[in-house]
Amino acid sequence: MKDWLTRIAAWSAIAISAGSALHAEPLKVVATFSILGDFAAAVGGERIALRTLVGPDSDAHVYEPRPSDAIALARADVILTNGLEFEGFMSRLIAASGTEAPITVLTEGVESMEEPGGGHYHYVDGRAIFHAGAHDPHAWQSVANAKVYVGNIAAAFCDADASGCQSYEANAAAYLADLDALDGEIRSAIAALPGDRRTVVVAHNAFRYFETAYGVTFLSPQGVSTESEAAAADVAGLIRQIRETGAGAIFAENISDTRLLEQIGREAGMALAGTLYSDALSGPEGPASTYLAMMRHNTAALATALAAQ
């Protein structure tokens, strides 16, 4: 772990010396994680060669970069990041790579939400890991924010490849129309739910933008300790909240360990209702292989669980 920056820097120097002058087609694009990669593919189409650092069903919070990642950054024409301190590894990787590519922060222009307590917990291998940050980075969980991401990507691609700008803008316009349709679908599905059946429990606090945009309340074990197991008082407090709010379902997340949620479910008398996709897409054979599919899957899972009596 301690020498990864040294190894990455060495490989980056090789990559840069190999020639990073004028880029040839296709545009070389690096996106930090799968959701951003999907946006980039939709806008770039066949004009880009895309590399995504953190792949499907993988947690960017705990990702450890590899030398090949630095080589990709060193050779890139455009680098796409989420920002809001989501990719904790990225500033060090950029420095180690020596890249001269512009860094596009896709949350630029998004009205970000503050993180309660200065961060949130997520769960890996049964451990609660604290992700510190002043702002909630999960802005893509609102379709309106996803449209900002897409606009920022189109602008970045046009800046890097003026001859392809018309193509990027056309692709972005078509995708924005798909996002408008998606937003309407989500609003209709949630509006059809009873007003007292709109609260669920999830593994970590990743859905606050969805909550604000669409009116579903998400509870999570936000305040648990960072020890290997949550304290009994923490779990008891969440169970009281579940009962007080009448939470209708409890969901696993594709990037999170399920053991804590299973424990909470047993205590609250609730079985897991399924899996929501928060910080990563599924693999190509899964139900959330694109952003559009992810949001439709999550909405359908919520609607099905909360409509049940």
- d(CA 143, CA 157) in angstroms, rounded, equals 21
Does residue 271 fall inside a structural domain? yes
pLDDT tens per residue across all 309 residues of the chain:
445 555 555 555 544 444 443 444 899 999 999 999 999 999 999 999 999 999 999 989 889 999 999 999 999 999 999 999 999 899 999 999 999 999 999 999 999 998 766 666 565 555 556 666 678 999 999 999 999 999 999 999 999 999 999 999 999 999 999 999 999 999 999 999 999 999 999 988 899 999 999 999 999 876 544 443 455 666 788 888 899 999 999 999 998 888 888 888 998 999 999 999 999 999 999 999 999 999 999 999 999 999 965
Does residue 279 fall inside a structural domain? yes
Enclosing domain of residue 240: 193-308
Domain count, the chain: 1
The pLDDT of residue 34? 98
Q: Which tokens sit at 244? A: 């007080």
Type and span of the H or E element at 32 = strand 27-33
Does residue 106 fall inside a structural domain? no
Does residue 128 fall inside a structural domain? no
Does residue 288 fall inside a structural domain? yes
Tell me the torsion sign for CA atoms 242, 246, 252, 253.
Answer: negative
The pLDDT of residue 216? 97
Does residue 284 fall inside a structural domain? yes
- d(CA 276, CA 253) in angstroms, rounded, equals 5
Does residue 165 fall inside a structural domain? no
SS3 at position 166: helix
- Residue 214: CATH number of its domain: 3.40.50.1980
Does residue 147 fall inside a structural domain? no
Type and span of the H or E element at 266 = helix 259-268
Question: What phi and psi, each to the nearest 5 degrees, are found at residue 108?
Answer: -60, 120
206 touches 222 (CB < 8 A): no
SS3 at position 127: strand
Q: Which tokens sit at 139? A: 């802005």
Any idea what DSSP says for residue 178? H
